[in-house]
Structure 1
Amino acid sequence: MDVLFNPVVISVLVLIILSLMKIHVIFALMLAAISAGLLAGLPLGETVTVLVEGMGGQSETALSYLLLGIFASMIAMSGIVRVLLSYLLKVIGKRKYLLIFIFAGIGVLSQTVVPVHIAFIPILVPPLLMLFNKLKIDRRAVASALTYGLKAPYILLPVGYGLIFHGILVTEMQENGLDIGLSDIPAAMAIPVLGMTVGLLTAVFITYRKHREYEDIETVSDESVVTEGLTEKREKVNHLITVIAIIAAFVLQLTFDSMIIGALGGIAIMLLSQVIQIGRSEAAVREGVLMMGAIAFIMLIASGYASVLTETDAVDDLINTVAVWFEGIPHAVAAVMLLLVGLVITMGIGTSFGTIPIIAAVFVPLCMSLGFSPLATASLIGTAAALGDAGSPASDSTLGPTAGLAADGQHDHIWDTVVPTFLHYNIPLIIFGTMAAVIL
């Protein structure tokens, strides 16, 4: 029963319960971090200090979110949104499932061929909310599709961000005494990703298939759109420049591996070309910060929360406590228990990439002693790490979709993104991850 009083377990429960009670995630994360520190014996002042100092770990990501929000606002103000909406209405018609899976496909491309991560969401999704409304699409289905596109590719494919994920997994396993090659990881992760695919299809075609009504609320007010006094020719020129700015932003991001440089490049093109006049940039900043500001601060506080957990050694204590339970139990039961431990750790920290070193340090020797194969061990570690991305209030894979879908204030982060992705991805990941551990 000692595990129930571990600071990690209690703080994650605090985070989940407060979030489900619709306490804003910012406050839920802060209270979870403070509870973890106090339960681990840190004084309140020191806990807050660690929390604040740890926030710097996500400062680049937070600034990226803010700049992307401003850039997205400028794109909407250019008037190209109306043109895009009109075109998509003609092409897609009433085929709502086509639109949903298009976004899942874009998410896949954002992790592999064009690794821009979540940068496309605040640019592409808010302008299309009116189209979602016309088709009466349940945005929870879109959130599920986006999260699938952001997660499944890097878990399965050694391309783009997946190459980084697979590389970290192989390195950590080798450093902890288990030899495995990069080419082995796709085979190890195929079954868990199959589970995610089942979850996606369930969300789209069963759980959220029914129509859902939303109000038509402009994400950018009509007064903000730059059309007054412009000739038709100038409007077309503005739209062309806007497209160039979007392409330039993606190229710069890929070239410099920085969303900040990409967003700044796009913003600079919009301002220097006078698509958005300097005097109107304040409105773009205001609307961009309104769209992405909360998300940016959540990422900062999540980083501080992770620092509190690592500073207190609570994660190590949790793993050491649980390790004694595994003597003489069947592989299937051991796999479930390992994945549940991974879920608790990654739910709190909210990143799969950052938790692999923590998980691998204990999973590798434990799996070796239990007789799991290298492929089964890789599957367990990869799945346990991935559990922190779907269903965590502080993960990119949930915050990104919310940033786009909540632009008009009609999409709740916890109940419309976090809960749906937890149910449709984390549960299948545990089930199919256990199957993989037993089969491989």
Structure 2
Amino acid sequence: MNAVIVAVVLMIVLSLLRVHVVLAMTISAIVGGLIGGLAFPDTITIFTEGLGENAEIAFSYALLGAFAVALSQTGLPDFLVEKLQKRIQKNGESERDTLTRMLLFIMLFVVACMSQNLVPIHIAFIPILIPPILSILNKLQVDRRLIACILTFGLTAPYMLLPYGFGQLFHKVIAENMAASGLEIDMGLIPQAMLIPTISSFIGLLIAVFVTYRQKRLYKDKGVSQKNDTQEKSYTTWSIVVASLAVIATVTVQTIYNDSMIPAALSGLFVLLLSGTVKLKQSDEVITDGIKMMAFIGFVMLAAAGFAEVVRATGDVEQLVTSVSTLISDNQFAAVVLMMSVGLLITLGIGSSFATVPIIATLFVPLGLEVGLSTLAIIAIIGSAGAIGDAGAPASDSTLGPTAGLNADGQHDHIWDSCVPTFLHLTVPLFIFGCVAALIL
């Protein structure tokens, strides 16, 4: 049995059975290592050493959480929520069910899309924006699974298509790894090749909005935290101005240092602290609360790094992809479907499209050339197969981020309310249209 398939399937099954995703990953990594021929002590050692691969990301998320908590002290989220609440009260019942809902959907859609390309802050906006509007979502009886689909679409589709921000990094990873595998390409071809796969995600999102999660869903109107239940936050013109400056500073620094989120989070914190909006004596509480808020994502990312390291160490990733070439002969349809399936398995396990592309490009380039696929088709298959599991993977920050915001009051399950809906509406269409794009380009 292939260790990659066993480890990924076991991780998915355990997660669906509501075993905590960190525990599911740890168990699956150990089982995969043992099946792959690694001794138990070696598996543990490799898993432990692999944790460091995502240490910077986990630390970045902790700082972003601290910045989000500090920003909430300025009253900016309360200011935004108050404006939305006034709109709800101003409009009639019918308008509330249409205009206000669509306003929220469009706002979240635009902000999520901008977070990848125009303003590359990734998931940093979620803990700032989502928890304060949960009460509004409850009043409108919006199904949070729909919000998860909107946020995850915005966190994945833009970087697949547009060569800006995180999209530029993703396209660069594709181009460099294809070149290293023997096929030099012009990066300008990537948006052309990824257009059809990206359209598929948009179609899936429309289905989620207008069909699957159109009905209302009831939630209990809980406070996000005990502090929110007992105290009413206030804001002033000065605090709103400082909060806006902090956001601008964070965005600017993130744009300059787009390979790390640490300087961006620190810059935002410094603006809030130096302005006196957040008192120095509050900094300990702010950072601690921020770490608590983002700890779930941080630990999952650490576990995902250990899981990926064990899977790579077994050597079964290469064996899995090599086995594909012996099954397909010169059948392009079979080659495309199997390559997409391999990409799906690997990305679901690793939880990162950026980490999947280097693994699959090495063998997919010669394999694609061998069966006669065009350059555009090979780009489409690598880009789609690399990104296919990002929406729906339990360890992906594209699902972890929405869960962290939507579960602020404990009413949103990571697997069943984030991963399953996004997998059905974003991953499945991407699989189908990715295959179509590779066959017709």
In the superposition, the TM-score normalised over structure 1's length comes to: 0.93
Aligned equivalent of 1:148, options 146, 153, 156: 153
Shift of 1:301: 1.0
Preserved contact between residue 77 and residue 129 of structure 2 (Cα < 8 Å): no
Distance in 1 (alpha carbons) for counterparts of 2:185 and 2:124: 33
| Matched residue SS, 1:202 | helix
Q: Taking structure 1 as reference, are residues 164 and 424 closer, same or farther at Cα in structure 2, changes over 3 Å only?
A: same
Comparing 331-340 and 414-423, the one that deviates more: 331-340
Between the aligned partners of 2:230 and 2:372, the Cα distance in structure 1 is: 63
- Paired AA for residue 403 in structure 1: A
Contact 1:140 1:420 in 2 (8 A): yes
CA RMSD of aligned residues (A): 1.9
CA distance in 2, matches of 1:80, 1:378: 43
CA displacement at 1:275 relative to structure 2? 2.5
- DSSP 3-state at the match of 1:111: coil
Partners of 2:111 and 2:3 in 1: CA distance: 39
Q: Which residue of the partner structure matches residue 270 of structure 2?
A: 268
The separation in 1 between residues aligned to 2:83 and 2:213, in whole angstroms, is 26
Residues 129 and 104 (structure 1 numbering): CA distance in 2 closer, same or farther, change over 3 Å? same
The aligned residue for residue 124 of structure 1 is: 129
Contact 1:151 1:389 (8 Å CA) reproduced: yes
- Distance in 2 (alpha carbons) for counterparts of 1:127 and 1:159: 29
Q: 2:29 is matched with which residue: 11, 33, 54?
A: 33
Residue 226 of structure 1 and its aligned partner are, at CA, apart by 8.1
Superposed counterparts of 1:153-192, under 5 Å: 153-192=158-197
Question: Given the alignment, which residue of 101, 111, 115 partners 2:120?
Answer: 115
1:68–1:123 contact (8 Å) kept in structure 2: no
Question: CA offset at residue 281 of structure 1?
Answer: 3.5
Aligned residue identity for 1:83: F
Tell me the SS of whatever aligns to 2:188. helix
- Cα pair 1:332 1:435 within 8 Å, conserved: no
Q: Distance in 1 between matches of 2:396 and 2:312?
A: 18
Matches within 5 A, 1:189-208: 189-208=194-213
Q: Do structure 1's residue 259 and structure 2's residue 261 form an aligned pair?
A: yes
Structure 2 CA distance for partners of 1:222 and 1:175, relative to 1, 3 Å:
closer
Q: How far, CA to CA, are the matches of 1:165 and 1:206 in structure 2?
A: 31
Cross-structure match for 2:7: 11
Aligned-partner Cα distance in 2 for 1:285–1:68 = 9
Once the two structures are overlaid, the 10-residue window that deviates more, 59-68 or 178-187, is 178-187
Aligned-residue offset at 1:235: 3.4
TM-score normalized by the length of structure 2: 0.92
Partner of 2:387: 386
Structure 1 stretches of at least 4 aligned residues deviating more than 6 Å after TM superposition: none
Q: Distance in 2 between matches of 1:28 and 1:6?
A: 18
8 Å Cα contact 1:78/1:226 also seen in 2:
no
Residues 291-343 of structure 1 deviation map (CA, whole Å, 9 limit, x = unaligned):
211111111110111111112212011112222100143x2232112101111
1:298 and 2:300 correspond: yes
Q: What's 1:72 paired with? A: 68
Q: Deviations over 1:261-284 (max 9, x none)?
A: 222222233333333333434443
Letter in 2 for 1:68: L
SS in 1 for 2:393: coil
Amino acid of the residue matched to residue 76 of structure 1? S
| TM superposition shift of 1:91 | 4.6
Deviation at 1:200, TM superposition (A): 0.6
Cα pair 1:179 1:374 within 8 Å, conserved: no
| Counterpart-to-counterpart distance in 1, 2:377 and 2:256 | 36
SS state of the match for residue 180, structure 1?
Answer: coil
| Partner AA of 1:130 in structure 2 | S
Offset of residue 253 of structure 1:
2.4
Counterpart CA distance in 1 for 2:358 and 2:228 is 49
Which residue matches 1:63?
Answer: 59
Secondary structure, aligned partner of 1:287: helix
Deviation per residue, 1:389-415 (Å, 9 max, x gap): 111111121111112111121111111
Read off the aligned partner of 1:79 and give its amino acid letter. Answer: G
Q: Which residue of 2 aligns with 1:315?
A: 317
Aligned amino acid, residue 202 of structure 1: I
Q: Is the Cα contact below 8 Å between 1:113 and 1:159 reproduced in 2? A: yes
Inter-partner Cα distance in structure 1 for 2:304 and 2:232 = 37
SS at match of 1:275: coil
Structure 1: tracts of 5 or more residues without a match: none
Aligned length: 430
**Does the Cα contact within 8 Å between 2:330 and 2:370 map onto a contact in 1?**
no
Mapped to 1, the partners of 2:256 and 2:214 lie a distance apart of 40
Deviation at 1:223, TM superposition (A): 7.2
Alpha carbons 1:203, 1:424 under 8 Å: kept: yes
